[in-house]
Chain A
Amino acid sequence: MSRLYRVLAAVVVCAAVAACGSDSSKSGKPSSPAAAPDAKKVDEKTASTITGKVVFEGTPPQAPVISTASDPACTQANKGDLKSERIVVDDGGLENVFVYIKDGLGNKYIFDTPTEPVKLEQTGCHYVPHVLGVRTTQPLEIVNNDNTMHNIHGMPESNREFNFGQMVAGLKNTVTFTTPEVLIPFKCDVHAWMNAYIGVVDHPYFAVSANGGKFELRTVPPGTYTIEAVHEKLGRQTQAITLGEKDKKEITFTFKAQG
């Protein structure tokens, strides 16, 4: 009987250790293939560049003004001119689109993972930037610059969901993701209008369209790739592209206005 108790105790302790030992950075199933034994670093001398633009076709909708009346600190910070960043069009180009190499790299290359954190700031009761990319296992530092409280609720599907609070200005928390996932929605449940989207990839070839919908992917090794553009509301599009050595190619994605 006492042996049975010992076994049960061991199981409970193991379960507790497993539960306590796992955090958002250690969970999730790895989906990227492990580098092949002969995998190498990308030769920058022969690498190519992909430039492009995300075009918005149709009449861009007026960005609605967000009511921040539920929190005086947010109203004070914005003076009533906080607008939705859901669809941002500049000079016919759609911004805040996450563009990345979805397929084609295989396990031929080794990429160093940056250790410096990517920053997601809560400033004026909205996320800055609204869309950003981060590498797997790279730290994502989330900062509260506001004179009010926020909760940061990440809602991934392949990585581990999390939700924590930052009660006062100046607080920082760091999270990491182990599994590539595009896009992970972030929200603040205190301020229902606050949303951000994070693209997590296991290589350095990603960008977020800006400055009139433009983007650039540098030092891409020669090969044939599937490039995907993802917008939080307008969905996903893919294109195939083949790069030779020292190539410079341009691609365009076009998203249409929705009725």
Chain B
Amino acid sequence: MTSNLEPRASIVWHHRYAKFVAACTVVLIAAGGLVTSTDSGLSVPDWPTTYGLNMFAFPLSKMVGGVRYEHSHRLIASSVGFLTIILAIWTWRIETRRWVRWLGVACLGAVVLQGVLGGITVLFFLPPAVSTGHAALAQLFFCLTLTLAVVTSQTWRDAESPVDDPSLRRLTAATTAAIYVQILLGATMRHTGSGLAIPDFPLSFGHLLPPSWNPHIAIHFAHRVGAGVVTLLVLATAARIWRRHSCRPGLKRTVTALVAFVVVQIALGAFVIWSGRDVLINTAHVVNGALVLGTSLVLSLRVFRGLSAFHGATVPGVRGSAGSACSAASAAAEARS
């Protein structure tokens, strides 16, 4: 039975391990993005075997062409699945908070379901609905592992009250939800072959609005509108934090990272069009999209928990995140951590 007197070192290592799993999930998303960008999803026609062989026994010499991407994705996915099993068991054993223990179980359930969805989409020749679901669940799994990494930090445990700004809480929650919807639109666009349905940017066929419509153009245009909505929400969040919570450097740093990721994301989206869906740019757009979502999620959690900084919490792309708080209590919590 675990207790609050659990050795501190194991808690710290468990938190570090959760961060490691979240980071590996980003690598897995990158590998999945490469599979779609190179159109290699069916280069291995069977599942769970690979050309009739146990996937772990598949010879490296046969990793050619599209197989290199698809089989690598499967191997990385299996590794992340294995890491998640350990994470779930470790969390269950060490964690005293019931909901956090179940969060570990949810991570495991998500990764298992994700593997099955990946298999189904191969066996049924990549139906857009299943492939989009696979992409959507990938981001959800990333959010789960990231949340586990955040809530297992010592500063999360030590924090006592949320930021006294209900509007900011609503704004960060809405921003995170909007980013997730935007990622779903992007996944739908990729898996329905609508990535170049509108071939120019920033205009659409030389106009502000597409002069003609079909489902591919509609999906593509919805993704562009979504980008505008997300950008506005992120800027509104940043403005509110910079103006009303300037004494919380942790929040400022996270929202600055979020703004930077959004700027990069818009640039990558433009270059996806201008390059005619270059494989690396396309994949970078997928990965950076996950970082936008992850950063917004961490920001939301911080705002809801009331921390100006999560000591050691994962903020994608941001090193370290200690900062001062407005209240003496928060400052004291930071001092303890």
Main secondary structure of the interface of A (DSSP, over half): loop
Residue on A with the closest CB to B122? A163
Chain B interface residue number, banded: 10 to 19
**Is A47 in the interface zone, CB < 8 Å from B?**
no
Flag whether B109 is at the interface (Cβ < 8 A).
no
| Contact between A153 and B42, CB atoms less than 8 A apart | yes
- CB within 8 Å for A165 and B68 given contacts A151-B45, A192-B39: no
What residue of chain A has the Cβ atom nearest to residue B45's Cβ? Answer: A163
**A167 close to B62 (CB less than 8 A):** yes
Q: If the complex has contacts A163-B125, A167-B51, are A149 and B41 also in contact, measured as CB distance less than 8 A?
A: no
- CB nearest neighbor in B for A152: B45
Enumerate chain B residues within 8 angstroms of A189, measured Cβ to Cβ: 39-43, 66, 70
- A161 contacts the other chain (Cβ, under 8 Å)? yes
Q: Does A70 interact with chain B (Cβ within 8 Å)?
A: yes
| CB atoms of B125 and A190 under 8 A apart | no
* Assembled-state Cα–Cα distance A245/B41 (Å): 53
Say whether B96 faces chain A, with CB atoms less than 8 Å apart.
no
Assess the B45–A149 pair: CB atoms within 8 A: no
B67, CB-defined interface residue at 8 Å: yes
The answer, yes or no, to whether B44 is at the interface (CB within 8 Å) is yes
Assess the B42–A151 pair: CB atoms within 8 A: yes
A58-75: CB near B (< 8 Å → 1, else 0) gives: 000000000000111100
Residues of the A chain whose Cβ atoms lie less than 8 Å from the Cβ of B7:
none
The residue in chain A whose Cβ has the minimal distance to the Cβ of B53 is A167
Query: Does A153 lie within 8 Å of B66, measured CB to CB?
Result: no
Most chain-B CB neighbours within 10 Å: which of A148, A151, A155?
A151
Confirm or deny: A164 has a beta carbon within 8 angstroms of a beta carbon on chain B.
yes
* Chain B residues numbered 34-73 whose CB sits less than 8 Å from any CB in chain A: 38-46, 51-52, 62, 64-68, 70
Task: Point out the residue from A72, A163, A191 that lies within 8 Å of B66, measured CB to CB.
Answer: A191
Residue from B43, B52, B64, B125 in contact with A161 in the complex, judged by beta carbons closer than 8 Å: B125
In the assembly, what is the distance between CA of A148 and CA of B62, in Å? 8
Partner of A149, one of B38, B42, B51, B70: B51
Which of B41, B51, B65 has the largest count of A CB atoms less than 10 A from its CB?
A: B65
Query: For window 160-196 of chain A, which residues contact chain B by CB distance below 8 Å?
Result: 161, 163-165, 167, 189-192
Name the A residues within 8 Å of B66 (CB-CB): 70, 189-192
The CA-CA distance from A191 to B69 in the complex, in Å, is 12
Q: Which 6 A-B pairs have the closest CB atoms?
A: A189-B43, A190-B65, A71-B64, A163-B45, A189-B42, A70-B65
- B interface list, Cβ under 8 A from A: 38-46, 51-52, 62, 64-68, 70, 125
